[in-house]
Amino acid sequence: AQSVTQLDSQVPVFEEAPVELRCNYSSSVSVYLFWYVQYPNQGLQLLLKYLSGSTLVKGINGFEAEFNKSQTSFHLRKPSVHISDTAEYFCAVYRGLWSSASKIIFGSGTRLSIRP
């Protein structure tokens, strides 16, 4: 069965420092990969996605992620974080062999806290 592992439950970072949120998935077939962000008291919002093509994917709010097939990873990065990036981040994977109704599997989340 496919799964998603977010290696860090919490990541504290100083403002304007770079950050990397780690995500590994298990699957022997082609996948779609996603990162979502959840701000306090809100639903999830799509940050970026990898479907195929270039392994470096750029998303909203200055975030980017790199798909690494050999390491089955999809780490999220930002070169300089802001206080407004404080949120919980979810990595998600879909194994693209099913119908359009098939489900996306979510990781357990990484809480990013920005210190001034």
Partner 1 sequence: DVKVTQSSRYLVKRTGEKVFLECVQDMDHENMFWYRQDPGLGLRLIYFSYDVKMKEKGDIPEGYSVSREKKERFSLILESASTNQTSMYLCASSSGTEHGYTFGSGTRLTVV
Contact at 8 Å (CB) between 31 and 95?
A: yes
DSSP code at position 104 = P
Q: Which of residues 76-115 bind partner 1 (CB under 8 A)?
A: 90, 94, 96, 98-104, 106-109
Q: Which of 25, 34, 63, 74 binds partner 1 (CB under 8 A)?
A: 34
Tokens coding 3: 């799964």
Residue 66 sits at the vertex; the CA angle it makes with 65 and 72, to the nearest 5 degrees, is 120
Q: Is 63 in the site for partner 1 (CB under 8 A)?
A: no
Binding site for partner 1 (CB under 8 A): 9, 32, 34, 36, 41-46, 49, 51, 90, 94, 96, 98-104, 106-109
